[in-house]
Structure formats: structure tokens, C-alpha cells
Amino acid sequence: MLLIHCPYCNAERPEVEFAYAGEAHIARPTDPSQLDDDQWRDHLYIRSNPRGLHYERWRHIHGCGRFFNAARDTLSDKFVTTYKASLPRPQIVQSEDTP
């Protein structure tokens, strides 16, 4: 079982308390009516799906109930860091063994 650090509870909690909520930092277009269908489709469905470092949303649904963001390596499944929802993407230097 994975232990995930909740930045609100400030505690390591088992993964069964959490729900995954997709890629993080996807900004909703400020004026959707200006977008054509392809741009709207890209906003809704097209995600980066990287091999390696991924910034993603999680929710501590069976704990404090908060949404927060995490940087996770999709290859090793290791959480690099977690941070509160309103904060910008932290700069992370990739170690040598991650692609």
C-alpha cells in the first residue's frame, strides 16, 4: 500500500483514503465561446500522459476532504512531493534513474 502525504493533514495516510482526480494545472479557458470544437475537445480530453514526472490532482476524500496536487513519477509510482491546491507547480530536478 502507498502512503501519501496530505499537505493539509500534514500526515502520511494510506492510499485507500484518497481519490485520484486527473492531471493538475489544467486552466479552464476564460472565454469558452471563443474556442472552436477542436480546442474545446483538447481542453476537455487531451492530457500530457508523460512517462516520468506527472503533476496531478488528488483528493483526501476519506480524510480531510481537501483537493491537493502531487508530483508523481508514473514509471516508479513514487510520489516526489505533494502541495496545496492553490500553489504553483514546484520545480523538481529529476534524478538520474528517472527518464
Q: What 3-state class would DSSP assign to 41?
A: helix
**Under rule CB under 5 A, how many of the chain's residues touch Zn ion?**
6
User: Which ranges constitute the DSSP H helices of 1-99?
Assistant: 37-45
Task: Give backbone dihedrals phi and psi of 54, rounded to 5 degrees, phi first.
Answer: -130, 130
Choose which of 31, 38, 65, 91 interacts with another protein (CB under 8 A).
65
Q: Which residue, 52, 55, 51, 47, is CA-closest to 81?
A: 55
Q: Interface with Zn ion includes 60 (CB under 5 A)? A: yes
- In the stretch 21-60, what mask flags binding to another protein with x, by CB under 8 A? ----------------------------------------
- Using CB under 8 A, list all residues that contact another protein: 1, 3, 8-14, 16-17, 62-66
